[in-house]
Amino acid sequence: MINLDKLLKKNAAENGRLNKSLAENEKRLRSLLSGCDDILFKSSMLSGINALFVCTDSMYSSLTSSIEVLGPILSSGFLPENSLTLIDYIALHTASDMEQKRLYSFNDVVLGILSGCVVLLVDGSDCCLCFGAQGFPKRAVSDAVSEVDELSAHEAFSESFKDNVALIRKRLHTHGLKISYLQIGTLSKTTVCVCYIDGIADAALVSSVKEKLGCIRVKALSGAGTVSEFLESGFHVFSSIGTTERPDTACAEMVEGRVVIITDGTPYAVIVPFLFSENFSTVDDYNLRPAYALTARIIKYLAFFISVLLPGIYVSLCAFHQEALPEAMLYDIAVQESITPFPVMLETLFIHFVYEIVREAGVRMPRTVGSAVSIVGGLVIGEAAVSAGLISAPMLIVVALSAITGFVVPKLYRNIALLRFSLIIISGFSGFYGITLFMCCVVCDMCRTGFMGIPITAPFSPFSLKSMRDTVIRRNWKKLSRSSFNIQQMER
């Protein structure tokens, strides 16, 4: 166990220790925090000794600090008259219900103040007390937005990492659940929590994650996306790092030996390692009967392939492989395509580009306007473009189908969009030949993507029959519960 007090003393020795004189400490703090009008300095007299409360306006909870800090101190009948024993007395006899620690250096004091803590400095003492009375504005726990499930909990992570950790803790009542805090960002000092279950998660995996996080050198950590990029090596089409906004999913992942990373200020958690097949499973799959879960997963896999390949295949069929179509269908398509001014590849690219613009606008616009954008995009542009002969009706069907199927696996939407565009261009130049070569390269890229020796293509390749029980097929809980699955089984 690391002794926090010793660590803080060591830190103090390196970063400028507090003086015994309150006046000097106040002067130094005021100079360090000069220009910060939101810092509150409140001088007070405790048992005849000068004291100073420092905190950040709107970052601390006035109610908590009144009840937990000031109240017990001020209402105490006896307070020692010696400054050193006064600090000890307050630490022991007051504010017992909240997080508190002693700080020795100016750096730690400033960090504590800026984190929303209330800091108490006492004249004659070279240490101060820091009370965790934070009370900054935050969003309440709300419903999941991007991972909506019917039969499972609706709670989702919020921006407050403490709330997020609590959401995990309340689901896993085990002392094995370990939560380590790290601070990343030389300026932002963002708290990042590494959560795992001791004894289930591989120790090497945990230490590797911590090591990689420790190596992050940025001024400000903007969110979990930055963490993901530092954890991953190189660019790959599909990532070995997953995300979830659902605490129940995060807990289920940890039970299987994965590590979950929560970043302060980000309403989703990062999961490592993450398999490709996990993009197709939802919490609902485990609440439904296996047969329904199987149907849902088959639909998702089919939707993924349709969304990625359909526009490319359509372009290939129209441009190179007309012989593969039945005569009637070929005739209809040929008639429709003959009235459009663009080659089929450009037409497909154009309409996909328009669709992506409409989608992006719908996402970024205020919600009230978003639906209007969709209507304009869907009805007006689509209908009008067909009527004007700019695009063909079959093309509109292909685009609509590939767009809708793309939303069946929302976690992969961006990957699908990238692949779709690439495949449209490639199929326009080289038909099925190009599609095959490109898909070979994509699958090869997937095959070399992994985290700590666990490839994302597992358990399909390297094939593991035992682990196939919860991929496309979800076996019933009686069978699933007989043997526990651990992600380390996937190691190549």
Partner 1 sequence: MKNKISPVQAYSLLFISRIVSTLTFVPPDLDAVGSDYVAAALIAPPLVLAASIMWLHLMSDGRTLIIRKVFFRNPKAEKSVRFIAVLYLLLVFTRNLSGLCVFAMSVLFEKVNAVVLLTVTAAAVIFVALSGIEAIARLGFFGSVATLLSLAFIVFSLTGRFDANNLQPLFLNGASKPVLLSLTVLSGTIEPFLLFLMRREVNDKIKKGFVWWWAAVFSVQILLTLCLYLGLGNVALRMFFPYHAMAELSRLSIARRMDSLLSTVWVLASFIKCALCLHLADNELKKISLGSSRVLTSVFTAVAFLISLLALNNIGVYRFVNNPNINAALNLPVILIVPIILNAVVKINLKREK
CB nearer partner 1, residue 305 or residue 477: 305
> CA 308, 314, 317, 319 torsion: positive or negative?
negative
Min separation Cβ 436 and partner 1, Å: 4
By CB under 8 A, residue 332 contacts partner 1: no
Min separation Cβ 282 and partner 1, Å: 24
| Alpha-carbon 153 to chain mean position | 18
Min separation Cβ 435 and partner 1, Å: 8
Which position among 461, 476, 477, 479 is part of the footprint of partner 1 (CB under 8 A)? 461
By CB under 8 A, residue 440 contacts partner 1: yes
By CB under 8 A, residue 4 contacts partner 1: no
245, 139 contact by CB (below 8 A)? no
By CB under 8 A, residue 430 contacts partner 1: yes
Core vs surface per residue 256-265: b (16+ CB within 10 A) or e = bbbbbbbbbb
Q: What are phi and psi of 105, to 5 degrees?
A: -120, 155
CB nearer partner 1, residue 88 or residue 445: 445
**Number of residues in contact with partner 1 under rule CB under 8 A:** 31
CB nearer partner 1, residue 78 or residue 235: 235
CB nearer partner 1, residue 155 or residue 445: 445
CB nearer partner 1, residue 250 or residue 313: 313
Task: Report the half-sphere exposure of 361 (CA within 13 A, side-chain side).
Answer: 16
By CB under 8 A, residue 302 contacts partner 1: no
Of 194, 196, 256, nearest to 227 by C-alpha is: 194
* Integer CA distances (angstroms), 459 to 166, 244, 250, 466, 470, in order: 32, 21, 20, 9, 10
By CB under 8 A, residue 463 contacts partner 1: yes
Which position among 153, 433, 485, 489 is part of the footprint of partner 1 (CB under 8 A)? 433
77, 88 contact by CB (below 8 A)? no
* Dmax (CA) of the chain: 100
Token representation of residue 61: 């909870």
By CB under 8 A, residue 492 contacts partner 1: yes
* Integer CA distances (angstroms), 192 to 195, 216, 435, in order: 10, 11, 42
Dump the DSSP string for 185-239: -TTT-EEEEEEEEBTTB-HHHHHHHHHHHHT---SS---HHHHHHHHS-S--SS-
Min separation Cβ 40 and partner 1, Å: 55
Min separation Cβ 140 and partner 1, Å: 45
Which position among 207, 287, 436, 484 is part of the footprint of partner 1 (CB under 8 A)? 436
Min separation Cβ 203 and partner 1, Å: 19
CB nearer partner 1, residue 144 or residue 313: 313
By CB under 8 A, residue 323 contacts partner 1: yes
Q: For binding to partner 1 (CB under 8 A), which residues are involved?
A: 320-321, 323-326, 329, 430-438, 440-441, 443-445, 447-448, 453, 455, 457, 460-463, 492
